[in-house]
Amino acid sequence: MRFALSDERRGFARSLDDLLGDAGVPAASRRWADGDSGPGLEIWRRLAEMGVSALRVPEAHGGLGAEPADVVVAFEALGRHLVPGPYIESVVLAPPLLASAGGGPSLDDLAAGTAIVTAAAPPMAPLALDAHVAHAVLVLDGSGLSAAERGEARTSVDRSRRLFEARPAGAPARLDPAVAAGALDAAVLACSAQLLGAGERALATAVEYAGSRRQFGRVIGEYQAVKHALADVRVALDFARPLVYGAAVSLGEGSPDAGRDVSAAKAATSEAAHLAARTALQTHGAIGYTEEYDLGLWITKIRALATAWGTPAFHRARVLAAVTAATG
């Protein structure tokens, strides 16, 4: 496998970074947490202009029909910049489900970003994220897809994730099980990419801080104990990344190993991002533990994403089942 990002994808990543770097995302995230979704939805609109909402919609409906690797590039940027909102649900999960089962908002509106969908998909995602901004709530249960009503709100450790119970209304439409499984795997992959981006950002923040904060007459980044902890984060993220891109290739090729590979990516990115968050907090000390300093937004986001779309234990069990079956 010649396994490198094309210039086109690098360019896409750079444009997203430029847009999101200037968009005041942490402030929008705080407003989102406080119930004001205005600035966050403005970011949604601008990302839609760049094609993010159209990625997985078929070209016949104004979408891009993009590859899973493009989704990874986009979601790594969303994670790096802490963008709030039901992007996995609306951009990755919903398009193939609605294309297959019909119902819900039109695919054209999804592609344009004018319709937002959220979904619950038990057991991996038992609650619907950000149903308060969604035009439709779906429940994917096995290969049955239902429209649902927004139920009771539940509180997440990540205050910018507003979670809701979803009550199916009416009989579920039956989906091709392969379509349902593929959509779920793509959602897990997008979550892995988000974790990777969030982990990279936590590391970058910690490295920057370690290079400027002085204690005992030297910057703390000169101390070997700090260096080694940050180096371990670099190692963990560097070896989680190829699993994410490898899973994107598997999913794009329709490989029978796609489910295994996506689960491997999710387990590894959860661990790597968690190590990044813990190490970044330890590097910062008390300032990192405060509400007003932005690092905490990434720490709580990573903690939430680590168990969203399947816990590490769930995904390890899935990997183990697949590989033990394969070794005969």
Partner 1 sequence: MNLDLDDRERAFRDEARAWLAEHVPASPLPNMDTAEGFEAHREWEAVLAAGRWSVVSWPAAYLGRDASLLEWVLFEEEYYRAGGPARVAQNGISLLAPILFEYGTPEQRERYLRPMADGTEIWAQAWSEPEAGSDLAALRATAARDEARGGWVLNGQKTWSSRAAFAHRGFGLFRSDPSARRHKGLTYFLFPLDAEGVTVRPIPKLDGHPGFAEIFFEDVFVPDADVLGAPGDGWRVAMSTAGNERGLSLRAPGRFCAAADRLLTLWKERGAGSAALGERVADAWIAAQAYRLYTFATLARIERGESVGADGSVNKIFWSELDVRLHETALALLGAEAELRGAGAPCDGAWMDGYLFALSGPIYAGTNEIQRNIVAERVLGLPRGDR
Distance (Å, rounded) from C-alpha 276 to C-alpha 231? 10
- Can you tell me which of 230, 262, 276, 295 binds partner 1, judged by CB under 8 A? 230
- Can you tell me which of 234, 278, 294, 304 binds partner 1, judged by CB under 8 A? 234
Instruction: Identify which of residues 50 and 322 has a Cβ nearer to partner 1 in the complex.
Output: 322
Q: In the bound complex, what is the minimum distance in angstroms from residue 309's beta carbon to partner 1?
A: 17
Distance (Å, rounded) from C-alpha 247 to C-alpha 257? 9
Instruction: Identify which of residues 57 and 319 has a Cβ nearer to partner 1 in the complex.
Output: 319
Distance (Å, rounded) from C-alpha 141 to C-alpha 172? 9
Q: Does 246 bind partner 1 (CB under 8 A)?
A: yes
- Can you tell me which of 14, 15, 253, 289 binds partner 1, judged by CB under 8 A? 253
Interface region with partner 1, contact rule CB under 8 A, candidates 103-111, 154-162, 187-195, 216-224 = 216-224
Instruction: Supply φ then ψ for residue 193, to 5 degrees.
Output: -65, -40
40: nearest Cα among 2, 81, 9, 69: 81
- Can you tell me which of 152, 170, 171, 224 binds partner 1, judged by CB under 8 A? 224
Distance of CA 53 to the CA centre of its chain: 14
- Can you tell me which of 160, 250, 279, 300 binds partner 1, judged by CB under 8 A? 250
Q: In the bound complex, what is the minimum distance in angstroms from residue 235's beta carbon to partner 1?
A: 5
Q: Does 257 bind partner 1 (CB under 8 A)?
A: yes
Q: Does 219 bind partner 1 (CB under 8 A)?
A: yes
Q: Does 316 bind partner 1 (CB under 8 A)?
A: yes
Q: Does 262 bind partner 1 (CB under 8 A)?
A: no
| Neighbour count for residue 301 (Cβ, 10 Å) | 29
Q: b vs e for 128-153, b when ≥16 Cβ sit within 10 Å of the residue's Cβ?
A: bbbbebbebbbbbeebebbbbeeeee
Q: Does 209 bind partner 1 (CB under 8 A)?
A: no
Q: For residue 133, what are the CA distances in angstroms to 83, 90, 129?
A: 14, 11, 9
What x/- string results for residues 174 through 193 when contact with partner 1 is judged by CB under 8 A?
Answer: --------------------
Q: For residue 325, what are the CA distances in angstroms to 188, 209, 247, 322?
A: 22, 47, 19, 5
Distance (Å, rounded) from C-alpha 207 to C-alpha 216? 18
Distance (Å, rounded) from C-alpha 252 to C-alpha 66? 10
Q: In the bound complex, what is the minimum distance in angstroms from residue 278's beta carbon to partner 1?
A: 17
SS3 121: strand
Q: Does 207 bind partner 1 (CB under 8 A)?
A: yes
Structure tokens at 280: 């970044």
Instruction: Identify which of residues 1 and 171 has a Cβ nearer to partner 1 in the complex.
Output: 1
Q: Does 293 bind partner 1 (CB under 8 A)?
A: no
Q: Does 304 bind partner 1 (CB under 8 A)?
A: no
Q: Does 64 bind partner 1 (CB under 8 A)?
A: no
Interface region with partner 1, contact rule CB under 8 A, candidates 92-100, 125-133, 175-183, 318-326 = 318-326
Site size toward partner 1, by CB under 8 A: 47
| Element holding 120 (H helix, E strand) | strand 117-120
What single-letter amino acid sits at 52?
A: V
In residues, how long is the chain?
A: 328
| Interaction site with partner 1 (CB under 8 A) | 1-4, 203, 207, 210-211, 218-219, 221-224, 226-228, 230-232, 234-235, 238-243, 245-246, 249-250, 253, 255, 257, 261, 264, 267-268, 313, 316-317, 319-320, 323-324, 327
